[in-house]
Chain A
Amino acid sequence: MDYRLLFYFVSIFFFLLLFTIIIYYKKKIAYLTRCNKSLLKANKNYLDMLGFVSHELKGIMGSVIMCVYSVRDGFLGMMNFHQRKALDAAVRNLERLEDTVKNYLDLSRIEKGELKARKRKINIKDITMQAKDTFSKQISEKEMVFKDNVPKDLNIFADKDQLKTVYDNLLSNAIKYGKKGGRIILNFEKLEEFLQFSVYNDGEVISQAKRDNLFKKFYRLSTEEYKKISGTGLGLFITKKIVENHGGRIWVEPKEKGNEFIFKIKKGGE
């Protein structure tokens, strides 16, 4: 056997094999790039549509809410008991729709990367008080005790609308998942580099497995008791994104009689 000839054959074989592999992977990479491009386009279309539909719905809701509340609250004349009951149901569903539209609008902004924290000096107590006002009806309906330990003179450097959304979401959950007649407590702590805030509510302690999923998109607590509670599963996801947008993080800690949602944001400019 001529070893030189064998060497040539083997060399040619490996060269052809290498060439085939390179061509194969080049084609594969080109295919994956095309797939990725079309997926990005589909995702962009989905996000655009999500934002557009939410925005359109929000516009429609403006006049619907004004009209329905005007009738329900007696601004346009008195109503009988049955009419009032029917409109109460309409208002409850409108509130759900308003929450849903707001969450989807926020989601589309977050996923498109449009969420930017426009930080200004704000008084955090103003925000917690506004949040309490927003939910005062639900708090009294559930006979809950509300305690706000956030100091009056606490000014922080943060995005006001976004922080309001954080407190709205946490307080809304504390009421929805909290025990009837239980406590809701807002706390604050100054750390070295961070400002730490928390919202506690009495209620069923959330298990470790569920705690790990709570901040994921569309995740909802699914026990028998909680199944009746409406929601989009977006509130805590949005809350987490906002907190991260402020250089912080959020987590939940089990307590003896309930759960405490704690978030900290980076100090700066106070």
Chain B
Amino acid sequence: MKKILIIDDDAELVESLKQILEMNSYKVISASSGKEGIKKAKTENPDLFIIDVMMETWSEGFDVVEQLKKEENSCNTPRILLTGIGIQSPLDSISMSPEMMGVKFVLQKPVKPADLLQYVRKALNE
């Protein structure tokens, strides 16, 4: 069973993501902050990260991605970023492209379950 770590401070959203992923045979763990996410990444060794960009700060998710790149056991683990909707997303505020940060997909919130599963499967090469 593949393990997915969701890093997001929106407890309600995490719960709904968890439900849909667990129904589809994934083991899901979660962290409500970037700091907790990094800690869990070291101990849990997930197969995929789903990271929200905007948590306590505007771009906390990017800091998490940067940190994960430096960790030996998670530097090659695929990542999906969740970002806000609209004409000006947080991605615009950084000079680096998501691909350069090792991000497989960037999904705009609100995400629909069919899209979520499709991209999770793609990211895990299933």
Contacts and interface: CB of A to CB of B under 8 A. Distances in A.
B19 interface: yes
Interface string B14-27: 01110110011000
B87 A66 contact: no
B86 A105 contact: yes
Contact of B112 (A58, A65, A76, A101): A65
Interface in A67-85: 67, 69-70, 73, 75-76
A187 B15 CA distance: 44
A66 B86 contact: no
A198 interface: no
Nearest to A106: B87
A116 B87 CA distance: 9
Nearest to B91: A161
B99 interface: no
B20 A58 contact: no
B10 interface: yes
B72 interface: no
Given A65-B110, A66-B110, A118-B92, A59 B86 contact: no
A242 B87 CA distance: 9
A109 interface: yes
B95 to A, nearest CB: 10
Given A66-B13, A66-B16, A70-B20, A58 B87 contact: no
Interface in A200-254: 238, 242
A88 interface: no
Contact of A66 (B17, B23, B88): B17
A62 B88 contact: no
Given A98-B110, A161-B92, A75 B86 contact: no
Contacts of B124: none
Given A59-B10, A63-B13, A66-B20, A109 B86 contact: yes
A148 interface: no
A106 B87 CA distance: 6
A116 B111 contact: no
Nearest to B88: A109
B112 to A, nearest CB: 5
Classify the secondary structure of A's interface with B.
helix
B84 interface: yes
B85 interface: yes
Given A65-B110, A66-B113, A161 B86 contact: yes
A234 to B, nearest CB: 12
A176 interface: no
B85 A66 contact: no
B109 interface: yes
B114 interface: yes
Given A63-B15, A70-B20, A161 B89 contact: yes
Interface in B10-65: 10, 12-13, 15-17, 19-20, 23-24
Interface of A: 55, 58-67, 69-70, 73, 75-76, 98, 101-102, 105-106, 109, 114-116, 118, 120, 159, 161-162, 165, 238, 242
Given A66-B113, A69-B112, A165-B86, 6 more contacts: A58-B109, A66-B13, A66-B16, A66-B17, A70-B19, A161-B89
Interface of B: 10, 12-13, 15-17, 19-20, 23-24, 84-89, 91-92, 97, 109-114, 116-117
Which 5 pairs across A and B sit closest by C-beta, in order of nearness? A66-B16, A65-B110, A63-B12, A63-B13, A118-B92
